[in-house]
Amino acid sequence: MSEFERIALALLLALFYGAFCWYCFSRRRITARVTLSQADVVVAYASQSGRAHALAEKACEAFAGRASLCALNQLTPSALQQSKTLLIVASTYGEGEAPDNGALFEKRLIRQTPDLSLNDSQFAVVALGDSYYSGFCAFGRRVYSALQQSEARALADCIELDASKPEQELEALTQLKALIKTLGGRFDIDTAEASVVPDRYWATLQRRQKLNDGSPGAPLYSLTINTSDTVNYSAGDIAEVYPLHDTALCKQQLVALGLTEDATLELDGQAVSAWRWLASRQWPLPEKPASLSAEQWLKHLPEEAPRQYTIANAYTPNRLQLVVRQLRNTNGELGVASGWLTERADVGDKLELAIRDNQEFHTPPAEQPLVLIGNGSGIAGLRAHWQQRDNTGGEACWVLYGERDADTDRPFADELAQLQTKGVIQELDCVYSRSGEYSEYVQQRLLRRGDLLKSWLERNACIYVCGSRVGMGQGVHEALLELLGEPALDELQAAGRYRRDVY
């Protein structure tokens, strides 16, 4: 190598090293810039099923490194006062309740520090809800009101997204885009809409198995669904299934409209089965105006909302499983979705679904023990997590599961026994509410095992609860309050070590 070549190589290496150092330094500066206390904009989310979280991520990305993202619970009073511009994306849970990762924020802001002054701050609230429920956007509205009462300046009226009205959601996202633009960001409505309304896929019902023959409770089924290569999910994620109403009723309705049972509709240049289209619409059907033809009326009918089911297995290529309880109303009629999935649909039938990325309920790191508590069809979420822990290895699980009858209600008993033998499940408590003198509820067993729970928590365990919100979910929460006290439970929740998927 000549002297000139050696000098050129040395200069090239020096230039590369300098560029590398500048890159590292820039990354440190960017990281420092988007810490909670120094970000130009703080984007905070309160999300129970992942929808608000996904939208908040897109809003944060719109600021190209000038914003920080956090769960709403992380905004302590002092953090609030340091945040000059707040964008809060908040869903409403249950009948007007705060999601778990926003409940502490509400407690601190509204109940504990009602005189907090935020007169140096400005804010906007995006509230997500479903007008089908009475508490539509209630939590987001409460947050908006509380911030106003704390003298923060509202950048806009509360922006509300209604899951039952897709056209309204697009209008709300347009409002959010305009708001973010005033703050110097660039918000892409198309990608944001995809995060709020995930892609839909066609799948096939491969297998249906009843899990509780002879049970005094309603039938419980395990469904195996074949999917395409493009469907990905994680333990804790949610399958949104688009249900179909009874085929015979739909065909009768078509005949009443003067159409044939095998009639088709022209939609976006394609011929679509009229009965299947009608089966996917919201019932009861409105009266058809005389001014519209049957085809025109059918095209204007709103779509039935998807039903959410926690996926019942760890990720498996081209396949997912659900656990569905068959429901009936007071007249004995089958539920729209549960009746279709557990009885009316035939094995081999096509169904349409979407995957909701529920980051709030993903499996914790392998080094954390996992306490899995649930009842009934909530075993779906528990099973996905114990399978994930079996796949990845790591600390053991404690499963505490409640059902009705010890002889007939034992879903996945063989799988549980095998994982006990392998050491994946270290503790297994199955309790039954209809077992005579041995009857017991999950929350009662939890209280009796309080010392063991505390020892698991000392090992940095996480508590995951999946199942009914009323009854089991409330009972477990009250038992934890009794065992640990409110401050300790709040601390677990703030740290993400107490998570719930209850309904």
Query: Looking at the domain assignment, is residue 329 inside a domain?
Result: yes
66 neighbors 184 (Cβ within 8 angstroms) = yes
Domain count, the chain: 3
Query: Looking at the domain assignment, is residue 401 inside a domain?
Result: yes
pLDDT for residue 438: 85
* Same domain assignment for residues 304 and 369: no
Domain-terminating residue out of 142, 167, 196 = 196
Tell me what the mean pLDDT of segment 21-50 comes to. 62
The per-residue pLDDT for range 425-441, each reduced to its tens digit, is 999 999 999 988 789 99
Tell me what the mean pLDDT of segment 42-68 comes to. 95
pLDDT at 257 over 50: yes
Tell me what the mean pLDDT of segment 352-381 comes to. 97
Residue that has been written with the tokens 């498996």 in this structure: 316
* Same domain assignment for residues 167 and 260: no
Instruction: Specify the CATH number for the domain of residue 450.
Output: 3.40.50.80
pLDDT for residue 405: 95
Cβ burial 2-39 (10 Å sphere, 16+ → b, else e): eeeeeeeeeeeeeeeeeeeeeeeeeeeeeeeebebeeb
Query: Looking at the domain assignment, is residue 2 inside a domain?
Result: no
What's the predicted TM-score (pTM) here? Answer: 0.88
The per-residue pLDDT for range 306-334, each reduced to its tens digit, is 999 999 999 999 999 999 999 999 999 99
pLDDT for residue 228: 84
Instruction: Specify the CATH number for the domain of residue 294.
Output: 2.40.30.10
* Same domain assignment for residues 187 and 47: yes
Query: Looking at the domain assignment, is residue 4 inside a domain?
Result: no
For the chain, the average pLDDT equals: 91
Task: Say how far apart CA 328 and CA 308 lie, in whole Å.
Answer: 17
Residue that has been written with the tokens 């409403």 in this structure: 92
Task: Say how far apart CA 126 and CA 88 lie, in whole Å.
Answer: 6
91 neighbors 99 (Cβ within 8 angstroms) = yes
* Same domain assignment for residues 435 and 352: no
* Same domain assignment for residues 186 and 225: no
* Same domain assignment for residues 64 and 90: yes
Domain-terminating residue out of 302, 327, 356 = 356
pLDDT at 254 over 90: yes
Query: Looking at the domain assignment, is residue 468 inside a domain?
Result: yes
Dihedral pair phi/psi, residue 381, rounded to 5°: -65, -40
Domain-terminating residue out of 312, 337, 356 = 356
* Same domain assignment for residues 225 and 264: yes
The per-residue pLDDT for range 394-410, each reduced to its tens digit, is 999 999 999 999 999 99
Query: Looking at the domain assignment, is residue 136 inside a domain?
Result: yes
Query: Looking at the domain assignment, is residue 18 inside a domain?
Result: no
* Same domain assignment for residues 83 and 180: yes
pLDDT for residue 23: 32
pLDDT at 5 over 70: no
| Reported confidence tier of residue 239, pLDDT bands at 50, 70, 90 | very high
pLDDT for residue 32: 31
Tell me what the mean pLDDT of segment 35-41 comes to. 77
* Same domain assignment for residues 140 and 123: yes
75 neighbors 42 (Cβ within 8 angstroms) = yes
Of 82, 108, 96, 93, whose CA–CA distance to 53 is shortest? 93
- Which structural domain, as residue segments, surrounds residue 392? 362-502
pLDDT for residue 114: 74
pLDDT at 252 over 60: yes
Tell me what the mean pLDDT of segment 166-191 comes to. 93
The per-residue pLDDT for range 71-102, each reduced to its tens digit, is 999 998 889 999 999 999 999 988 899 999 99
pLDDT for residue 115: 82
Percentage, residues of the chain above pLDDT 90: 81
356 neighbors 231 (Cβ within 8 angstroms) = no
* Same domain assignment for residues 189 and 267: no
pLDDT for residue 256: 96
* Same domain assignment for residues 492 and 420: yes
Tell me what the mean pLDDT of segment 437-446 comes to. 93
Instruction: Specify the CATH number for the domain of residue 78.
Output: 3.40.50.360
Query: Looking at the domain assignment, is residue 20 inside a domain?
Result: no
* Same domain assignment for residues 53 and 80: yes
Of the listed ranges 12-16, 96-100, 282-286, 450-454, the one predicted with least confidence = 12-16
